[in-house]
Structures are given as C-alpha cells and as structure tokens.
Chain A
Amino acid sequence: MTVCRINFLKRKKIAGNKINIQLSVVGATKRFSISADLAEYAFHAGASIFVDVTQSSMEAIRFNFGTVGSPAFREEDISRLTGESVVFNFYVVDPASAQKLGVAEAIRIKSQDGKLGGSNSLLPVDGTKELSGVLWRVDFDISGAEAASDAPVLRIDKHASLNSASEFLNNPVHSALILPAAMRLILAKILLEGDDYEYVPTSASWRHAWVRFAITQTGDALPEAEQSADLPGWIDQACAAFSRRSQLHDGFLKHIEK
C-alpha cells in the first residue's frame, strides 16, 4: 500500500551533505564542530539554528548556533553525553511561530570500542592485542581519511584493558597518564619527523586533523616554517592545554584523593 505523506507546512529536508559535523573523541573528552551550507533553501535570515545532540535516552543537549543570517557555528563540548552512538538533529526554526522550516534528523556518528569515534575519531583505540610487556603504545598502521594507511591508533595491552580499551581509558588515572603523552607522540611524528609539513586547514587527512585539534587546544597558530625551532614548545603547550581543558590533571588528583 502506498502511504501518502502530506507536508502541509512545507518544512524542508536539509540534505546530509549540506551539514558537516566533526566529532573528536579523545579518552573521556568528546567535542564536536559543525557547519552548514543553507544557501539553496532560502530560509529567512531571522530563522534560528538549533542542534540537539543525544547519546542516550536520558540526556540531550541543545545548542543554539545563531540565525541563518548570522550563524554562530563553533566547537562544543559534549563529554557529558554517554553511550555508544552520538545522534545529531539539526533544525531551522521560525522564532515567532516555532515552526520547523528545515530539518536534518538522526545524523548518527557511531562510536564503538576498537574504533572510538568511528571514522571521525582522531584517535581510535584498540584493546585486543598483546603488547609484549608494555601497557600501551601508539601505532601508525590503520586506515584513515583520504586513503591513508598510516593513521594513528592507541593500543592498550589486551590483558591490561581486559579487551576494552575505551573502558580502560575511562579511568582518570589511565587517561591522564596516557592521552597527553600519546598526543605528544603523534604531533611529534607529524611536525618533527620526516619531510617539512605544510598545514592544510581544510584537509580531512589525519595529520591535518591532528594539527587542527592542537590549534583549537592551545589557541595559538602553528609556528611558520622558518620558526621550526618553536615547534617542540608549541607541541608542549598544545598537550598541556589539552590536559587542562579535558580536566585530565584535575581528574587524576581527585581520583587519587579518594
């Protein structure tokens, strides 16, 4: 039987490829950034842009990203959401009538153990391998965006992690000790080893994604090529900023005080 669906109020379905969501999951810290190209839908400039993010039935967070005429897209922290998969609902709403003018619903970004954060994760984790005496290490041997086959993965020894690396990293002591150090290793590989690196802000490759992440942490631009001597210090600052912003240091202290 054919079901006829009538859209009396003419709300528009916004195509998924018009919305760009980047989810970064590093240990217990979960942040997303979003942008949207709404030009073809001709929404009026005063229409509000809302994004609802849910990750379990108990919790949803709404973000107001300004209006169509003056959008205020930015990075947001959603670490308080828990569960396996983050779902985004994107709404363009008429503020006077509360009518939905445009919707893109159930934009789902999967997060699962062994591939934390899915394809958008900066640092997938893996707790399924024996590491021959070390508790953790960063390997550069998994596939990533733009056909890369040398993207980083944080491996936790399977006996130490009981086969669940993400659970292992939920422990504040483990995450505080491991994650900033892993970040330093990865940034050093990108910026200090091999050929001269040139940052491409719009690229989705893992190298540029990591540098983009580091810039958002420290708030300072990457030093120019002729200032390469500043790079080790910049990496230190980025890792320290990450540890502070993610409350890894404080979380460690609180945990050992218990």
Chain B
Amino acid sequence: MNIRRFNQKGLDVFREYLRQAKIDAKAKLPVQPVPVELLTGESTSEPTSYVMPAFPDFFATKIDLASFVDRVFPRSKYDEIRIDVTMWTWLAAFMFDRITNGRRKIKEERAYVASLGHEDFYRHIILGTYFVYFNAKEDLSRVQVLLYDDPTTMNEVMVQFGSYQTLMRNKGLQAVVQRLYYDTEKGRIKRGAGGKEAGTPRRLMDFFRQIELNYDLQSVSEPKFWDMIPAEFAKFK
C-alpha cells in the first residue's frame, strides 16, 4: 500500500484517539488499536506516491527505525518529505504498535503528531529520529549517543541536543558529545549523564550557548572543542 497523509479530519480523529489512549493507559485499561478506517479511509487521508514496504514487528533501536525510514524514501526527496508533517503523523499512526511497545508505552501527543516547531519536531518519534539519522548518515558512529536506545524512550542527550542545529552541522561537535556521554562497552549513555549536575548534557548545552556568543562553533575542530570543555566535564572525559 501507499503511505498516506492525514487531512484535517484525520488529524482531529487521531488526536482524539491519542487522548483516549492516554486515559485508558493511565487507568490500566487496554488501549484499542488505531482504527483501520482512520488509516485508510478517503475521508481522513490521501495517498502519497511512496510505497510502504513490509516492516519488522519490532524496532530495537532508533537507528533501526531511522534506517527503515531511510529505505522508504529516496534521499533526494529529503527536503520535500521532512516538512510533510501530516505524512509523518500518519506514519506514526500506522506504526503505532511498533513505536509504543504494543500500545503499552504511550507518550505525549507531539511524539506522534508531527510539527515543525522548534521545541516539537525532534520529539516526534519517527521524524525526530530520522532527522538526526539523515543529517549524520555519513558517519552514524558520531550520533550513537542520540540513537542507541529504543524508539519509545527519549534519553537526556537527545532531549538536550535533538534540536541543536549546530550539532547537526558540525561533525567535531558530534564526536565530542558522543565521546563524552556514550559508553561504548555497555552500548548506552554513561552512568550519571542523565541528571542536571555538573558535567551533564544539560550543562554542556549551557556551555555551548555561552561560548557561542564569542566563537563560531561551526569553525571549531574536534580537538579544539575537547580542549575548551571546562573542568566540570572531566568525570565524563
């Protein structure tokens, strides 16, 4: 079948479905599947030209999810598809069981209803993940710290850096964040990196915002970044 995009009625119905799903999940009641007629009905959506391939029952990591999406759309169409929010919302509805751990882990609305807003777009489980993946596709080892975990979770590094344009455009900066906070042996974020204390991603974001006043971070190399990082980050170095 072809991938579709919601119209306004489809968006409204999906939002209502999400609202009820959250209520049911909170009350420990079974969450109903997304209605088939919402996904395929002509009154709620229209087809795009992209074909939906068979997809796995389970995406273990965000990289698995993003690489699947990367196979669905031609890379040459990135500029066109990245802003098609009603298509991303339909995709989230279509893949709802896969991105909610079988409707057991239901998050806030913006995780499924896509938006281009600064504080929202990277929170969409599929669009945000694909955005990071696409922008780092030449060397995904630099963004493992953003994409290593399962699609239903939003780790602290992703929360802090998911929408940070400078990170998406500077491989040196990506490498520094990866080196600071990713435990390569355990294949996950380093212990203690999820908090608010000294040396955490939240503090690193504050540091970048501060030095960005005086330095053009796109012109800073990885070794120079490494040298510039203050002492409070030593425990993660």
Chain A contacts to B: CB under 8 angstroms: 8-9, 11, 48, 50, 54, 56-60, 62, 80, 82-83, 91, 93, 95, 97-100, 258
Contacts and interface: CB of A to CB of B under 8 A. Distances in A.
A97 B219 CA distance: 9
Interface in B122-142: 131
A83 B83 CA distance: 9
B224 A98 contact: yes
Given A9-B214, A57-B118, 11 more contacts: A57-B119, A59-B82, A60-B169, A62-B218, A82-B116, A91-B216, A98-B216, A98-B220, A99-B215, A100-B215, A258-B49
B83 A50 contact: no
Contacts of A82: 83, 116
A136 to B, nearest CB: 25
Interface in B88-147: 116-119, 121, 131
A196 to B, nearest CB: 44
Interface in B191-237: 213-220, 224
Contacts of B220: 98
A50 B216 contact: yes
B219 A93 contact: yes
A241 B93 CA distance: 43
13 contacts: A11-B214, A50-B218, A56-B83, A56-B116, A57-B116, A57-B165, A58-B121, A93-B216, A97-B215, A98-B215, A98-B216, A99-B215, A100-B216
Contacts of A83: 116
A83 B121 CA distance: 13
Contacts of A60: 165, 169
B163 interface: yes
A93 B220 CA distance: 11
B185 interface: no
A57 B119 CA distance: 8
Contact of A100 (B79, B118, B214): B214
Given A83-B116, A98-B224, A57 B163 contact: yes
A258 B49 CA distance: 7
Interface residues of B, number: 22
Nearest to B119: A57
Contacts of B215: 97-100
Contact of B117 (A57, A91, A258): A57
Contacts of B121: 57-58
The 7 closest A-B pairs by CB, nearest first: A57-B118, A98-B219, A80-B79, A93-B216, A9-B214, A98-B220, A60-B165
A84 to B, nearest CB: 10
A56 B163 CA distance: 11
A208 B41 CA distance: 52
Contacts of B117: 57
A62 B165 CA distance: 11
A9 B82 CA distance: 39
Nearest to A98: B219
Nearest to A92: B216
Nearest to B83: A82
B116 A58 contact: yes
A62 B169 contact: yes
B216 A54 contact: no
Nearest to A91: B216
Interface in B11-50: 49
A258 to B, nearest CB: 5
Nearest to B121: A58
A11 B215 CA distance: 10
B98 to A, nearest CB: 24
A119 B148 CA distance: 47
Nearest to A48: B219
A161 B29 CA distance: 46
A100 B218 CA distance: 11
Contacts of A80: 79
A97 B220 CA distance: 8
Interface in B160-189: 163, 165, 169
A11 B116 CA distance: 33
B132 to A, nearest CB: 11
A50 B170 CA distance: 15
